[in-house]
């Protein structure tokens, strides 16, 4: 319980005075540590109630305060990569109502243009902010807007992504580009940052060479009349940056980027001083800030896995929800790994969230964390497959979008046996439009030879994953949603590889094709139609790409085909079935139920499904109306 609720008075008097960045700039320097403490208290209490990204925001409190004291947002553009570390930014720009954080009608968990002029990009896909910043800064130059700055805040984990280095390569080529790049270095993304860059930053983070040389210089040159004064200024690092000669930041300098740091990211005065220096350089400059993820909250600081990267509503009492889709995948991967030594796992900086942690513990030499580099992950998987092993690339469905070219041209073109496990497929909800995995079954339809499986329950996830890894001459995909797995739904029959979930009593007028996790709502819709006297057969294709020829045959026997999927309507499974029927000259009409092709506002999965009309009531009503309309049209043709 906070001091506010205990006493009836505000426990955050300084934060209460902040309605915008001008108020932050108006605070005295000695008040800033207290403000930082109040912000941490606020975040721990608020995010513990709602769930959200706690650790990343606790780590950037002083950094964000300094940013808003040095730069004038929104005139100066602050770009967050990724946006889940922008909670403090929201507080300092006047958004303090966290009661419905990440829920429909409340604050987004990421920057949102609809919320505030201070939010420039939603940006929850990492490694992109530097490219945005490059474009913004160049646009300012072209328009003659010399009185404003662009600042990109990027985590060390995001610098493992290739797109960040493409941006750095271009930024460094424009020597007068007024762009400040703040590297928020906490040695982590979800988990500890991997690779050569991480080792380089660790060297920068831990070197004492500069400090020792500074002390040496002050001892020996103090009082020297000829060079003492100017050189001492240099030794203090104010004008020429002696650190350039003794600290190993050559990686950035080789790119032509000025470097300031490393500085203590939890010392507002240090960060503020570094940012003010960077602002005056007139060209691209990196400010390297060392921070601690979860700073100021002991449970987060001590949580070795992800330091409370994202948490659920820890203060709310919840009933046990059973195993998750991710945990079912995780368990089956461990079993498969024990049966087949050729199976390896690949993750893009998300070992635990995608369920590969247990596999890594069981078979540590057979899992590869490539950092936030989905493109590399996919093409590396192609190389592994060509080398004689079977890689399973586990990634959130929304992040496979980033590696489409690699799936198409590096994996499929070469007939590589690579399995993609797409977690968080369909409507995921709370993380907003960038995280809904509603694009995969559309974009993957165009990939020749690729097969897509959509399990409806845990038993089918296990079975389809096993079937997928048996394919060695083409890519396979197994996609499943976020959340808890409900009870298994056993088929009543099987037809040509299709699972029949409901067989109509009497004449079956409607063939309802249920895709993956939409099985339960499909069964409910079929029951409602049965109450209206409409015979419905419900089938689950299991493998939704390519379209099963048995499905085409069944469709020809019905008056209407209805498809239900939690993918976007355009180019999804429904569209593929419609095309297959047309190719086979089957004239049965198809009614497609899917997610509306738009960017959904953050909310729960059920809220998104309701908004898209993916409810049993709407499906049943629409199917009934479609049958009635088709019957009336038939009568007109006969007359």
Which CATH number goes with the domain that contains 588? 3.40.50.920
Q: Consult the annotation and say whether 127 binds a ligand.
A: no
CA 512 to chain centre: 33
Domain match, 512 and 612 both: yes
DSSP code at position 484: B
Domain match, 195 and 341 both: no
Which are the contacts of 495, defined by CB distance < 8 A and separation ≥ 6? Answer: 539, 550, 554
Tokens representing residue 321 in the block: 């929800």
Q: Quick one: pLDDT at residue 631?
A: 64
CA distance 169 to 184: 19
Domain match, 451 and 524 both: no
Q: Consult the annotation and say whether 374 binds a ligand.
A: yes
Measured CA distances, 566 to 552, 594, 607 (Å): 21, 6, 13
Whether 237 is covered by a domain: the verdict is no
Q: Quick one: pLDDT at residue 211?
A: 47
Which uninterrupted H or E stretch holds 530? helix 519-531
Q: Consult the annotation and say whether 158 binds a ligand.
A: yes
* Per annotation, catalytic residue among 188, 258, 277, 402: 402
Query: Furthest-apart CA pair in the chain: how many Å?
Result: 112
SS3 of residue 56 by DSSP: helix
Q: What are phi and psi of 167, to 5 degrees?
A: -65, -45
Q: Residue 118 in contact with residue 166, Cβ under 8 Å?
A: no
CA distance 364 to 221: 54
Q: Consult the annotation and say whether 169 binds a ligand.
A: no
Q: Residue 475 in contact with residue 447, Cβ under 8 Å?
A: yes
Around Cβ 623, how many Cβ atoms within 10 Å? 24
Residues with pLDDT less than 70, the chain: 1-10, 123-124, 187-254, 296-321, 631-639
Q: Is 222 a catalytic residue?
A: no
Domain match, 272 and 387 both: no
Q: Consult the annotation and say whether 46 binds a ligand.
A: no
Q: Consult the annotation and say whether 84 binds a ligand.
A: yes
Domain match, 331 and 405 both: yes
Q: Consult the annotation and say whether 236 binds a ligand.
A: no
Q: Quick one: pLDDT at residue 337?
A: 97
Question: For residue 160, how many C-alpha atoms fall within 13 Å in the half-sphere facing its CB?
Answer: 27
CA distance 273 to 228: 24
Tokens representing residue 305 in the block: 């896995």
CA end-to-end span of the chain: 75
Calculate Rg over the CA atoms of the chain.
28
Query: What's the CATH number where 193 sits?
Result: 3.40.50.970
Whether 423 is covered by a domain: the verdict is yes
SS3 of residue 280 by DSSP: coil
SS3 of residue 74 by DSSP: coil
Q: Quick one: pLDDT at residue 170?
A: 85
Q: Consult the annotation and say whether 435 binds a ligand.
A: no
CA 29 to chain centre: 36
* Per annotation, catalytic residue among 293, 451, 456, 591: 293
CA distance 348 to 368: 8
Q: Is 318 a catalytic residue?
A: no
* Per annotation, catalytic residue among 272, 374, 565, 607: 374
Domain match, 424 and 279 both: no
Q: Residue 35 in contact with residue 14, Cβ under 8 Å?
A: yes
Whether 351 is covered by a domain: the verdict is yes
Q: How many domains does the chain have?
A: 3
Whether 306 is covered by a domain: the verdict is no
Domain match, 260 and 380 both: no
CA distance 16 to 96: 9
Whether 312 is covered by a domain: the verdict is no
Tokens representing residue 410 in the block: 């590096």
Whether 539 is covered by a domain: the verdict is yes
Tokens representing residue 236 in the block: 């203090």
Whether 623 is covered by a domain: the verdict is yes
Q: Consult the annotation and say whether 254 binds a ligand.
A: no
Decide which of 479, 505, 537 is a domain's last residue. 479
Domain match, 17 and 161 both: yes
Domain match, 377 and 273 both: no
Q: What are phi and psi of 494, to 5 degrees?
A: -135, 135
Q: Quick one: pLDDT at residue 561?
A: 97
Domain match, 140 and 42 both: yes
Beta bridge partners of residue 79, listed in sequence order: 152
Residue found by looking up tokens 């390896």 in the block: 344
pLDDT tens digits, residue range 330-372?
A: 999 999 999 999 999 999 988 999 999 999 999 999 999 988 8
Q: Is 365 a catalytic residue?
A: no
Q: Consult the annotation and say whether 68 binds a ligand.
A: no
Q: Residue 390 in contact with residue 417, Cβ under 8 Å?
A: yes
Whether 555 is covered by a domain: the verdict is yes
Q: Residue 251 in contact with residue 156, Cβ under 8 Å?
A: no
Tokens representing residue 336 in the block: 């498969």
Around Cβ 519, how many Cβ atoms within 10 Å? 22
Cis (ω within 30 of 0) for the bond into 82? yes
Q: Residue 548 in contact with residue 541, Cβ under 8 Å?
A: yes
Around Cβ 343, how many Cβ atoms within 10 Å? 19
Which are the contacts of 197, defined by CB distance < 8 A and separation ≥ 6? Answer: 156, 159, 160, 251
Domain match, 425 and 546 both: no
Q: Residue 534 in contact with residue 623, Cβ under 8 Å?
A: yes
Domain match, 81 and 144 both: yes
Domain region containing 517: 496-638
> Residue 269, class by beta-carbon neighbours within 10 Å (0-12 exposed, 13-18 middle, 19+ buried)?
middle
Q: Residue 39 in contact with residue 61, Cβ under 8 Å?
A: yes
């Amino acid at each position: 319980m906070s001091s506010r609720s205990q006493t009836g008075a505000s426990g955050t008097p300084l934060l209460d005075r902040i309605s915008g960045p001008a108020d932050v700039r108006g605070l005295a320097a000695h008040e800033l540590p207290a403000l930082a403490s109040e912000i941490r208290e606020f975040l721990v209490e608020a995010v513990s109630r709602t769930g959200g990204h706690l650790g990343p925001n606790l780590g950037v409190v002083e950094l964000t305060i300094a940013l808003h004291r040095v730069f004038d947002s929104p005139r100066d553009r602050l770009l967050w990569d990724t946006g889940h570390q922008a909670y403090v930014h929201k507080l300092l720009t006047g958004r303090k109502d966290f009661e419905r954080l990440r829920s429909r009608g409340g604050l987004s968990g990421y920057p949102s243009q609809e919320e505030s002029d201070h939010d420039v990009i939603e940006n929850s896909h990492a490694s992109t902010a530097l490219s945005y910043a490059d474009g913004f800064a160049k646009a300012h130059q072209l328009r003659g807007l010399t009185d404003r700055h662009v600042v990109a805040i990027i985590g060390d984990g995001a610098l493992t992504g290739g797109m960040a280095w493409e941006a750095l390569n271009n930024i460094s080529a424009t020597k007068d580009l007024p762009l400040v790049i703040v590297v928020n270095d906490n040695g982590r993304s979800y988990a500890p940052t991997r690779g050569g860059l991480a080792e380089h930053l660790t060297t920068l983070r831990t070197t004492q060479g500069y400090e020792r040389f500074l002390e040496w210089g002050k001892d020996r040159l103090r009082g020297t009349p000829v060079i003492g004064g100017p050189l001492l200024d240099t030794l203090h690092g104010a004008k020429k940056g002696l650190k350039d000669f003794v600290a190993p930041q050559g990686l950035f300098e080789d790119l032509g980027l000025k470097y300031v740091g490393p500085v203590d990211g939890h010392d507002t005065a240090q960060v503020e001083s570094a940012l003010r220096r960077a602002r005056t350089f007139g060209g691209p400059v990196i400010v390297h800030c060392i921070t601690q993820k979860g700073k100021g909250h002991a449970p987060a600081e001590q949580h070795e896995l992800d330091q409370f990267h994202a948490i659920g509503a820890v203060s709310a009492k919840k009933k046990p929800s059973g195993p998750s889709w991710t945990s079912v995948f995780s368990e089956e991967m461990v079993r498969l790994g024990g049966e087949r030594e050729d199976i390896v796992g690949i993750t893009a900086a998300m070992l635990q969230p995608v369920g590969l942690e247990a596999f890594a513990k069981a078979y540590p030499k057979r899992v590869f964390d490539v950092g936030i580099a989905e493109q590399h992950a996919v093409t590396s998987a192609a190389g592994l497959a060509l080398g004689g092993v079977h890689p399973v690339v586990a990634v959130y469905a929304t992040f496979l979008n980033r590696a489409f070219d690699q799936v198409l041209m590096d994996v499929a073109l070469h007939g590589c046996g690579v399995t993609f496990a797409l977690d968080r497929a369909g409507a995921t909800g709370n993380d907003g439009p960038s995280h809904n995995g509603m694009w995969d079954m559309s974009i993957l339809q165009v990939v020749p030879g690729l097969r897509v499986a959509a399990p409806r329950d845990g038993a089918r996830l296990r079975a389809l994953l096993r079937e997928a890894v048996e394919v060695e001459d083409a890519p396979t995909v197994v996609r499943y949603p976020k959340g808890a797995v409900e009870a298994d739904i056993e088929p009543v029959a099987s037809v040509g590889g299709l699972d029949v979930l409901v067989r109509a009593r009497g004449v079956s007028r409607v063939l309802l094709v249920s895709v993956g996790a939409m099985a339960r709502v499909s069964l409910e819709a079929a029951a409602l139609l049965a109450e209206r006297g409409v015979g419905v057969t419900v089938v689950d294709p299991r493998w939704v790409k390519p379209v099963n020829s048995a499905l085409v045959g069944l469709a020809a026997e019905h008056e209407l085909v209805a498809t239900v999927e939690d993918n976007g309507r355009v180019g999804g499974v429904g569209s593929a079935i419609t095309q297959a029927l047309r190719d086979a000259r089957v004239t049965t009409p198809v009614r497609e139920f899917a997610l509306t092709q738009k960017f959904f506002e953050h909310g729960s999965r059920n809220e998104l499904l309701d908004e898209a009309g993916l409810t049993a009531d709407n499906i049943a009503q629409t199917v009934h109306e479609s049958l009635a309309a088709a019957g009336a049209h038939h009568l007109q043709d006969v007359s």
